[in-house]
Structure formats: C-alpha cells, structure tokens
Amino acid sequence: MKLTFRPFKECDAAAVASWITDEPAMRLWSADRYERFPLAAADICRSYAAEAMNDCFIAFTLLCDDTVAGHVVMVHPGGRRDAIRLVYTIVDPRRRGLGLGQKLLQMAMDYAYRFMAASEVMIGVFESNISAMRCYRAAGFEPTGERFTMPCGEAGERPCVMLSAKALSVSPGDR
C-alpha cells in the first residue's frame, strides 16, 4: 500500500463529499461550516476557494495507491505561527480500521513540524466522537484539558475537547 500526502486538488472534493452520508456525520466533520446537507463537491470547492488568499488555511489529501483515501486542513489557531490546528479531518469510511487515520494525522504532523516550523499540532474533537478520539490518541495526541463548544446543526452547541502533540526536538536544518 503506497501512501502519498499531497496538497488538496478540486478533483478530490467529490470523494470527500461522498464520504459524508448523513447530516450528523457532516456536522461531526465540519460543525456548521456548511449550511445544508447533502454536501456537494462544489460546496467544498467554494468554501476552500474563499480561503485561497489565506496562508493560514492549507488543505491536504491522503492518497492510497493513487486513490483519494483521506483529507485534512491545517490552520494557524488564533494567529499563532508556532502552532497548527488540524480541522476537517476525514478518512474514507470504507477504509476505516486500517490505520489510515493515524497515518494521515502523522503525515500532517510531520509536514507541520518540518515545513511550517510548528512546535505544536492541535486537534479538536466533539466529546461524543469516541472513534475519532481513539484515532487521535493512537496517532500521538494527548488531551490538553481545554474544553469548548462548537455548533453542531440542530443539536446546537456540543462539548469538545482539545488534543495536542508537541514536536520532538528538531534542529532548524531538519525543518
């Protein structure tokens, strides 16, 4: 199995949208970023195009043997240039349980540490999303103790927790 982590392309959006099969899944993935379900590839492309001039919003795709298998977006939280927050993280549901979620997160962390000079990578998760929490912990994230709420469609505000992974000592020449 050959894994490739590369910048998101508009042609990836159809695969990502197809993985979101109901509104609760869409809300777990994106909170209230999108107004309506079903989500279309054009909705993702339009949303990301609005961020095109924002150097704090970088989308990536995980390919597994040249097939779109995962997706993640990196942002600088609160303007912090030394940190990256992973958002809109998802893996093809047909491939869950194979370790691709962990690989996607590890590749994103490696990119953030090496090429974005991040000393910390963070990810928020709805408290009720136990499978995502398990995946994040397996990839090396630890709870920070920070709790917050996020809008989640008709369910309203729902509790979330923040997790973090700190960079191991990396010399500037390795970044």
Q: pLDDT (tens digit, 9 = 90+) per residue, 94-149?
A: 999 999 999 999 999 999 999 999 999 999 999 999 999 999 999 999 999 999 99
Q: Any idea what the CATH number is for the domain that residue 32 is in? A: 3.40.630.30
Number of domains composing the chain:
1
Instruction: Tell me which residue of 124, 149, 153, 147 sits closest to 32, measured CA to CA.
Output: 153
d(CA 125, CA 38): 22
d(CA 17, CA 126): 20
pLDDT tens-digit map of 48-99: 999 988 888 999 999 999 999 999 999 999 888 999 999 999 999 999 999 9
For the purposes of burial, counting CB atoms within 10 Å of the CB of 37, is it exposed (0-12), middle (13-18) or buried (19 or more)?
middle
Domain ranges, residue 10: 3-174
